[in-house]
Amino acid sequence: MKHVCLILFMLSSYDILAQHNFKGTIIDAKNNLPIEGVTISIMPGNNSSFSDERGQFRLHHNYTNAATIHFSCIGFESVILSIDSFKRNNLIILSQQETQLRDIIINARAGQEYKTISKLDIKVRGVNNSQEILRMVPGLFIGQHQGGGKAEQIFVRGFDCDHGTDINITADGIPVNLVSQAHGQGYADMHFIIPETIENVDFQKGPYNASKGNFTTSGFVDLKTKNILANNTLKIEGGMFDTYRLMGMFNLLSEKSLSKKQSLYVATELGYSNGFFQFPQDFRRYNLFGKFITPISKNTQLSFSASLFKSKWNASGQIPDRAVNNGTIDFFGAIDNTEGGKTDRENFNLQFISSLPNGSILKNQLYFTKYHFDLHTNFTFYLEDTINGDQIRQKEGRNLFGYNGSYRHLGEIGNLLVTTEAGIGLRLDNINNLELSHTIDRYTLLNRLAYGNVFETNIAAYISESIKLSNKININTGIRFDQFFNQYTDHLKSDSNFSANSSILSPKLSVYF
C-alpha cells in the first residue's frame, strides 16, 4: 500500500496534459471572490465537475464533438461558452440572481467529490439552531435532552455516536469535538455556531478519508461559514413558553472594499426560553461571530474569524414512570429541580489559502479555543445516597491550540484525473481542574470523585490519492499516521503524574460507483 501511494503521488506531480482537458477559475461578479460548488458540464455529453473552494476546476473530456461548456450554480446566472471562447479566457465570472427552480440541476453521476449541504438546503429548512443542520446529513439524526444547553445525542445509520464520541465535527477547520471532556469523550457542542452564517456542510460516512483522524468512526461533518454576506439581515422570532430569538448579520465594509476581494461582517444571536416543564428552564444563549477576508498577495488569501459563546440553563432530566403514575410528580415535573449548567467558548481562527503556479492549493491554519463547562445532572436520584441524592457535577476549563497544513494538487496520469492531497496536523489540549463531584443543589460539595489536569497532544500526517477512472467509478487510497501523548496530574493523589503514549497507522481504500 505504501509503495502504491508513493508511486501515484510522484506521478501526479507531473502535469501530463490530456488532449481534452479543461481547467479554469470561477469568481463572483459582485465581489471577485471565488465561487465553490459550481457545476461545470460539457455538452453534448454527460461529463461534469465542480469548482473547489478557490473557484478552480479541472475536467477531462474525451468526446471529439464537444461544442459548449455550461456553468451553473444556485443563486447565480448560468453561463454557456463555446469551447473556443473558453480556451481564450478560462476566467469565468458569474452574476448573482434570485434562486430559480430552473437553476437546480440533478446529476446522477456527481460522484463522491461533491457531497455537500448547500446554503439553499439550509435556507429552505428554516433552522434556528446549528445542531439542527446535522439532521440534513442523510442517515443522521439527533436527540435533545436536558433542555437545549447540552450537546445533542447523535446517531448515524443507527450507530450511537453519543455526544460526538464517534463522529468528527469541525467548523471552518476548528475541531468541535473535545478530547477527555468532563461529560464524555468527543463531546461536540455546536451551539457556538450561528446557523445563518453557515455557507455549506460537507460530510462523508465511515472512517475512509485520510484527512480525518480521531473520532471519525462513523464519519465526519465539516461546517463552513460564509466569506461574505449577500445583504444585511435582522431577524426577530418568538414562540410559546417565553421563547424568543434575535439574530443580526451586518457587512462592515463598503462596496469599494468588496471590489478588492475584501469582506468583513459580524453576526450576533440572543436566545431565551422558559420551556414547557414545571420548573422554568431560564435558558439563555448569546453568540457573537466576526469574519474578515482579504488578499495579501495575488495568489494568497487571508481569513481571520473570532467567536464568543455563552449559555446557561436549568434542566429537567429523565424521570421514573412510577413517580408520574403514583402522582408524586406530573409528566413535566422533576425529581431534582436543581439540574442544569453553564458553558462558554471563545474561538480564534487564522487561515492562509494560496494558489500555486501549477494550480495546487496550499492551506495553513492556526486556531485557538478557550472553553469552560459546568454541568449538574442526577441520573439515579437517590439510588446511591438515599439522604442527599445522587447529583453530580462535571466541570472543566480548557485551552486548545492547533495547526493544520495541507497541499492539494489536481493532475493527470494519462487520461485519468488524479487529485493528490497531503497534510499535517497538531492539536494540544490543556485541561485544568477536570472534575467529577458529588453535590447538593449544584454547588454544595459532598465528595470529589475525580479531580486533576489533563494535557493531551495529537500529531498527525496523511497522504491520499483520488483517481477518477470514469464518470461512474472513483477510487481513493491513502494512509494516515497519528501519534498521541497523554498526561494526567491527579490532584486527589498529591498531584501524582501519569502518562500514556500511543500511535496508529491507518491505511485507507475506497471505491465509489
Q: Where are the alpha helices (DSSP H) in 431-497?
A: none
Give the separation between CA 260 and CA 256, rounded to whole angstroms: 7
- pLDDT, residue 60, reads 66
E-assigned strands of 274-360?
283-295, 300-314, 340-355
Share of residues in the chain with pLDDT > 70 (%): 87
Q: Where are the alpha helices (DSSP H) in 326-394?
A: none
- pLDDT, residue 239, reads 93
Q: Mean pLDDT throughout 80-91?
A: 76
Any bridge partners for residue 310, and if so which? 286, 344
Give the separation between CA 168 and CA 217, rounded to whole angstroms: 8
User: pLDDT of 341-357, one tens digit each?
Assistant: 999 999 999 999 998 88
Any bridge partners for residue 450, and if so which? 436
- What Å distances lie between residue 265 and 11, 32, 352, CA to CA? 43, 17, 18
Give the separation between CA 292 and CA 406, rounded to whole angstroms: 21
Any bridge partners for residue 289, and if so which? 267, 307
**Lookup: cell for 435:** 472534575
User: pLDDT of 130-189, one tens digit each?
Assistant: 777 788 888 888 887 776 678 889 999 888 999 999 999 999 999 999 999 999 999 999
User: pLDDT of 240-271, one tens digit each?
Assistant: 999 999 999 999 988 777 777 889 999 999 99
pTM: 0.86
For the cut 50, the answer to whether the pLDDT of residue 13 exceeds it is no
443 versus 124: the higher-pLDDT residue is: 443
